[in-house]
Amino acid sequence: MILLSVWFVVLLGLPFWWKTTRVYRAELPNEDIEQWNEWMTCQPTFPITINLHLTSSVDSIPASTGIKDGIEKRVQELNANHISKAKFPVKFVTDQAWSGSKEGDISDRPSAIPGTYDFYISPGSDTIATIKTHRQGFIQVESWDEDHIVGAVTEIFNAIFGTEQRVIQQLVHAADTRGAEKVKDQLKAVKYAPGYQLTFSLFSGDASNGVREWKIQEAINAYLTPVLKSMSVVSTFTVESQVQHYASLTFTPQLDTDQKEYYLTPNSLPNFINAAEWSLASTVTSLPSLNFLTYVPKPSESPLVIKSGPSSLRSKTNSFLIPRWGGITILNRDNDTIASPQVITEKELKPLMKVFLTQLRDLMGLTDLSAVKASFPIIFHKASNEVPTAWELDNLLRRRTAENLVDSLATLTSLARLVADTPNMVVLDHIQKDVVDALKDVERSCQRLSEQQYVEALTASRDALVKAETAFFDPTMVSMLYFPDEHKYAIYMPLFVPISVPLLMAVLRELKKHKESKKALAEKEEEEGDKEEDKAKKE
């Protein structure tokens, strides 16, 4: 009975031991993730609406219906050349007459809806297009007939939106294999984040008779703030500045004796930053940081320029960009011509800020539409102080939304595969909730895209990315990864072996006793049977 009692306790405790020591794994929606990764649940759709305003100031006006049908047919042919899981429907509206005939007659109330644009069309001596800053375009066509109007509008459409659509197609097509970072056109741009920390740093090679102060705050207010305000629809920005003296380089610049100047070659630029001594990391915020560094060389190494060799031309801006990190500008100062050798004024900072703004545009992924080509001139108006145009912001909205969707699904797919391949990984309920909520945000973003609500679509895609990365990097998931089966054996064997051996031996003894008693009983019964048989024979 004692042995049975002990084994009863052991067997009764096994379920409790199994329950309390097992790895908890909440079920993830793997099938939903796989369907989204293949874009089976919803295809990302990026609609565009273009209102065509034909001038009514001429006697003969081509049929608007024929123009609309012709443009839509041409655009469909362009999209048919690309196989992609993304869709780019374009709606052309031609029922809006325009009483004007020149660029100055365009309405001063441009569209406030991202993705909706107005093209004003009139005859002219040459075919030329002018793209204004706020979703408006003025097109003059040389021949006032249907074919020339259709051809001009189609070519302008392809010039403005063609590259953007190809980039998005690559993003979506690569979602199930490589992710967004593989698109070569976006290698300079930083990964999307809801907010960024901009750090403006002044590094002086020698402060004994050099710069001690710079009017960076005034320059930021004058040149940078309007740009950041316009880009707040995509991301928010915080700005900080710092000054560090005696910031020496890790190498000695080469001397050009003919030009009497020091120079850096492109091969030496990767080693420009002295990471061991220069303080560049921000401790104020956890936001991704973009660095804009101004370096003032010490007098013994000044002027310092960037060029490929002694007889080569100088860099026009004396600056260079580090992809996904920031930009660096070298400032050479002539103490004989400046007002105060120890202070960098706002006037001196103006050309530097223009360089930094150009670098910021590249880092944020803004597309320079003025570089597009067509068979006729296309003039792009630029806003003052490098402020992005509405066309550029719409482009960025659509592209960043696509990147976020692709990155979110790539993260969720990696998480699902990691959990499936790692049996010891803990998956708590809040991780499951983050994954489910991330998929809901992906669906909401996809729906908002189809409705041409690009700001809301970006917000939903941002929420999806944040939740997906929160689930993937949750610290509780790695709690059991460093506790393999070998460790379990090492822990449980000293506890269970000492008690299990006596118990097993006792069971064996009891079985042996039971077997011996059963054998003795059988022999006794056999002996008694023999006695009864002998007794019967005697009788």
| 469, two tokens | 């990365």
What is the predicted pLDDT for the residue at 236? 93
* pLDDT (0 to 100) of residue 180: 42
Q: Are residues 318 and 202 in the same domain?
A: yes
Element spanning 458, H or E = helix 454-472
Q: Which residue's entry shows tokens 């956890």?
A: 286
Q: Note the pLDDT tens digit of each residue in 227-252.
A: 999 999 999 999 999 888 888 888 88
Residue % of the chain over a pLDDT of 70: 86
Per DSSP bridges, beta strands 378-380 and 319-322 are: unpaired
Mean pLDDT confidence for 267-275: 82
Orientation of helix 30-37 relative to helix 429-450, angle to 10° = 30
pTM: 0.82
For residue 516, being part of any structural domain is answered with: no
Q: Tell me if 235 is assigned to some domain.
A: yes
Kindly state whether residue 3 falls inside one of the protein's structural domains. Answer: no
Using alpha carbons, select from 234, 287, 288, 238 the residue that is nearest to residue 400: 234
Q: Is the residue at 403 inside a domain? A: no
Query: 63-93, pLDDT tens digit by residue?
Result: 777 888 888 888 888 777 666 788 899 999 8
141-150, 162-171, 202-211, 440-449: the lowest-pLDDT one: 202-211
Kindly report the three-state secondary structure assignment for every residue of 52-120.
EEEECCCCCCCCHHHHHHHHHHHHHHHHHCCCCCCECCEEEECCCCECCCCHHHCCCCCCCCCCEEEEE
pLDDT surpasses 90 at 258? no
Q: Let me know whether 61 and 104 are in one domain.
A: yes
pLDDT the model gives residue 415: 93
The two structure tokens encoding residue 112: 């406030």
Chain centre distance of CA 49: 27
User: CA-CA distance, 344 to 214, in Å (whole number)?
Assistant: 4
Same domain, 90 and 210: no
287 pLDDT tier (thresholds 50, 70, 90): confident
- Identify the top-confidence range among 200-209, 340-349, 411-420: 411-420
Cα 457–459–463 angle (5° rounding)?
115
Q: How many domains, in total, are found in the chain?
A: 2
The answer to whether residues 169 and 285 belong to one domain is no
Helix (H, G, I), strand (E, B) or coil at 377: coil
Task: Give domain status of residue 384, yes or no.
Answer: yes
| CATH number of the domain bearing residue 139 | 3.40.390
- CA gap 206, 223 in Å, rounded: 28
Let me know whether 224 and 356 are in one domain.
yes
Residue 276 sits in the same domain as residue 212? yes
Residues 293 and 155 in one domain: no
In a domain, residue 456? The reply is: no
Q: Is residue 304 part of a domain?
A: yes
* Residues 172 and 196 both lie in one domain: no
| Residue 199 and residue 159 share a domain | no
Same domain, 162 and 195: no
Please indicate, yes or no, if residue 379 is contained in any of the structural domains.
yes
One domain, residues 146 and 119? yes
Residues 6+ apart with CB under 8 A from 139: 119, 120, 121, 122, 127, 128, 129, 130, 152, 153, 156
Statement to judge: residues 197 and 272 lie in one domain: yes
Q: Which domain holds residue 77?
A: 48-176+371-392
The residues with which 462 forms a beta bridge, in sequence order, are: none
